[in-house]
Amino acid sequence: MDDQALLRYSRQIMLDAIDIDGQERLLNSRVLIVGAGGLGSPVALYLAAAGVGRLTIADADRVELSNLQRQIAHTQVDLGSNKADSARAAALALNPQCRIDTLTSHLEGEAMREAVSSVDLVVDCTDRFSSRYAINHACVTTGRPLVSGAAIRFSGQLAVFDPRDSESPCYACLYPPQEGMSDDELRCSENGVVAPLVGVIGSFQALEAIKVLSGAGTWHRGLSTFDGMQGTWRHFQVPRDPHCAVCADR
């Protein structure tokens, strides 16, 4: 790091849990953020600001007026723009030293596997069950840690899945695929969401990603749920499902 980088990241370097070594690990890390909406906006901004060296932001959608209530990486002038490109511009405005690539088509199949295998960690900021299962499967098969978040109405969820840990569950252990499960059950456009909730969950996703990448502290285990109406968290220990169709015997 040069003097400018030392100054930029000085408040993190001052932390014993991160120090220069941890900051160097962040600078050398690669992260894939899938989804540049309500969750992906704070994730992209905080990871870029914190000094993650290379981000790939994936989103095929375009910015709409109804997004601006909560998707803080986008502004009025971005209406009609691709969300990944808009989030990239916002993150680079915070930290031009961060290298940021975009994927502007829907990730699936081999494209998903290649994108996941090229990074050190994945942050799932999507709002569709189909996307969550695809991301989870790619992370399990490539051995990449996955930071998962969800936010709807006044409720949020946070989980970290690490296939490198023999005791860590995967997303499918928590939510086994069920026949008739609808993507609309998760979508804000169908259910509504209070604006700051996505910031709360997205910020926690960014925090967990920084901990995993830098080696600071102990990252999240199990599943945590947030009740925005009461302002309370609940934590659940979730074991790996030995019969999981995705991660069993891996």
- In this structure, what token pair is assigned to residue 139? 């992370």
Residues 72 and 59: their CA atoms lie apart, in Å, by 15
Phi, psi of 145 (to 5 degrees): -60, 145
- In this structure, what token pair is assigned to residue 91? 């993150």
The residues near 156 (Cβ < 8 Å, ≥ 6 apart) are 149, 150, 197, 198, 200, 201, 225, 226, 228
Q: Which of 125, 173, 188, 244 is catalytic?
A: 188
Tell how strand 121-124 and strand 146-152 pair up.
parallel
Cβ burial, residue 110 (10 Å; 0-12/13-18/19+): exposed
Instruction: Specify whether the CB–CB gap between 159 and 224 falls below 8 A.
Output: yes
188 annotated active-site: yes
User: Running DSSP on this structure, what letter comes out for residue 15?
Assistant: S
CB-based burial, 179-209: b 16+ in 10 Å, e otherwise = eeeeeeebbbeeeebbeebbbbbbbbbbbbb
> Known catalytic residues?
188
